[in-house]
Amino acid sequence: MSERWDNELFEQFVRLRDDLRAAKRVKDYQQVQQLGLNILELNKRAGFIKIFTPIFLKHIADASMRLNDSTTAIKYLKAAREAFKERQLSPDDWQKDIAMIDRKLEKLESNQLKCPDCGNEITDTRGGVQPYNDFDDYLGFRCVKCKRTFADEEIEKIAGK
Ligand SMILES: [Zn+2]
């Protein structure tokens, strides 16, 4: 991680941040997700900027929720929670943000679908941002553990009980 000031990297950050704000305004959540990830990636090379990453982790999580990608939302909410915690100077810092994250996590996790065969969580890859290497390009509901895919009717049944 470079701690030395670099104008070019800083300008890249400002551009990404402004683009993210613009994407949020027009509710382009796929774009918000991608720009958030780009900022996290940039952060690895631009420690000197001291980017406040919890905010961007939250942006990615919120965008994922809008895209009904709860697996990604949970992943980034947990990362945001962790990042807020790391920045706490006193136990009161970021309490409101952390409490809000906990509420969202609780809601998402209670709505999560469980595979009837193994109890593992069923993931929905329809709006995914990550490349899936195992059972390839299936876009829909699947259990990673059993490598089983689910039709929409099955999902309705599982969600209904
Ligand atoms: Zn399973």
Residue numbers of the domain that contains 74: 7-111
Span 19-62, pLDDT tens digits = 999 999 999 999 999 999 999 999 999 999 999 999 999 999 99
Q: How far is the CA of 141 from the centre of ligand 1 (A)?
A: 11
From its phi and psi, is residue 74 left (phi > 0), alpha (psi between -120 and 50) or beta?
alpha
- Predicted confidence band at 127 (pLDDT cuts at 50, 70, 90)? low
Same domain flag for 97 and 45: yes
Q: How far is the CA of 101 from the centre of ligand 1 (A)?
A: 27
**pLDDT at site 133:** 56
- Predicted confidence band at 134 (pLDDT cuts at 50, 70, 90)? low
CA distance 75 to 114: 17
Q: How far is the CA of 69 from the centre of ligand 1 (A)?
A: 18
Same domain flag for 134 and 56: no
CA distance 115 to 99: 29
Number of independent structural domains in the chain: 2
Element (H, E) at 122: strand 122-124
Same domain flag for 89 and 15: yes
Same domain flag for 88 and 155: no
